[in-house]
Amino acid sequence: MKLFAVTGSPVLHSQSPALFAAAYPLHADDFAYFRLAAQSAEEAAALFDELGLSGMNITAPFKGDMAQLADARAQEVQALNACNTLLVEHGKKCCYNTDIFGVPGALRKAGVPVAGKRCLTLGAGGAGSAAAYALHAEGGVVTVANRTLSKARRLAESIGCRYAGLSEIAAIAPRADIIVSALCHGVDVLDEAWLRPQQVLFDAVYHGSALREKALRAGCKLIDGAEWLLHQGAPAYRRFTGMEPDVEGMEKVGLPQALPKHISLIGFMGAGKSAVAPLLAAMLGRPAVDADAVLEERCGASIPSLIGEKGEDYFREQERAVVEEALASPTPAVISCGGGAVTQPLLGKLLKERSIAVWIYAPPARCVSRIDVSTRPLLARHANPRQAAAELFEKRKFLYAKTAWMLVSSRDRSAEQVSRLIYDEISKVHHR
């Protein structure tokens, strides 16, 4: 079983997990792919090792830092100092940059040749660097323009192309055959008067492009960032799985807009789900449902008593009924699930389909230190609860990953900090 994640800014790459999942053959049950809400490349790399991930997609702003944390770097990563694909190969973390396939792949699909064409790339960050590198490799005559001239010069020297400041593009843009804008979302430095019908305008932004109307009025051929994402995602998928992606299926995947009705919190016992749920619910203005508390109230007994008197199977039946009822409610809620909820295949499927499932993660040893082991029957019966917890977590890890939309680490965060991070990540992708 292989676990893959994406980490970085959901504003830039919120489609990545959906596109990757859409490429899976229906029988590919040995793969799980989820978002990893790390706040630094160092945290993402540590979780990569700790969770035993097989691969990771890296988005801005971590591409440069992650390149330095890998054990081996492909040629394009060395040239660009940017990594968007991390893989474990022969026991080492190896990084690649599949962004370089995005622009030429999209241009080929659109029937636009690159060789001999005058190309202007705006921005010298991760996306702009990959675009310039790729266009130069395809035989284009490339100029890199960036607000910070020294950054543009360093990139141009590493690639072997020209460079300019953004203040100079008024003289360059009108003569360019292909213009790639890889600037931050909402930043537009192109004057409509510089554009002409014969030009190809490529915007790295794929949601809410500021250039769309401008390009239409000027009669330019516009290619948006969804095509870039698609054509960089396909080679990443090949590296991850060794299989050919379903590119047509990937193209049909849309960007989710509405916030799903419920948010479910999953994860191991002691990870902090019950503490986070009411805090996150208050931020979202919705009720919190603690499945374990509801179950105990409904059955008139504690969970240890239920398991001791009626067995784990009975407890799981009651647990499933409580969570199914919460998911069926028309009132949007934040649902805190028991640590073993995902072990029930139907329940895991429902959580994934009817809610945003957030995996709150902490190492098993940390989880055990936070709980009263005597109240946890699955651990209390073992002479070494920490070892039992580690073994139980390993059995459940893939199920958490397969169910989760996103993972948030509670290892060194308070419940308030975890709640805020979940709220911020969800708010960047979904409209409430």
Residues with active-site annotation: 63
d(CA 218, CA 221): 9
Pairing of strands 85-89, 92-96: antiparallel
Which residue has tokens 């990771």? 56
Please provide the size of the chain in residues.
432
- Distances 12 to 80, 127, 187 between C-alpha atoms, Å: 19, 11, 14
Residue 142 backbone phi and psi in degrees, to 5:
-105, 135
How many Å apart are CA 187 and CA 182, to the nearest integer?
9
Closest CA to 323 of 345, 350, 298: 350
Say if CB 268 and CB 393 are below 8 A apart.
yes
Name the residue among 58, 38, 59 with its Cα closest to residue 50.
Answer: 38
In 350-424, the DSSP E strands lie at 355-361, 406-409
* H or E segment and range at residue 146: strand 141-146
Q: What's the count of helices (H) and strands (E) in the chain, helices before strands?
A: 21, 17
Q: Which pair of tokens denotes residue 38?
A: 């790390």
303, 295 in Cβ contact below 8 A? Answer: yes
Dist CA 413 CA 362 (whole Å):
10
Q: Tell which residue, 18, 160, 139, 13, has the closest CA to residue 80.
A: 160
The secondary structure of residue 55, as a DSSP letter, is E
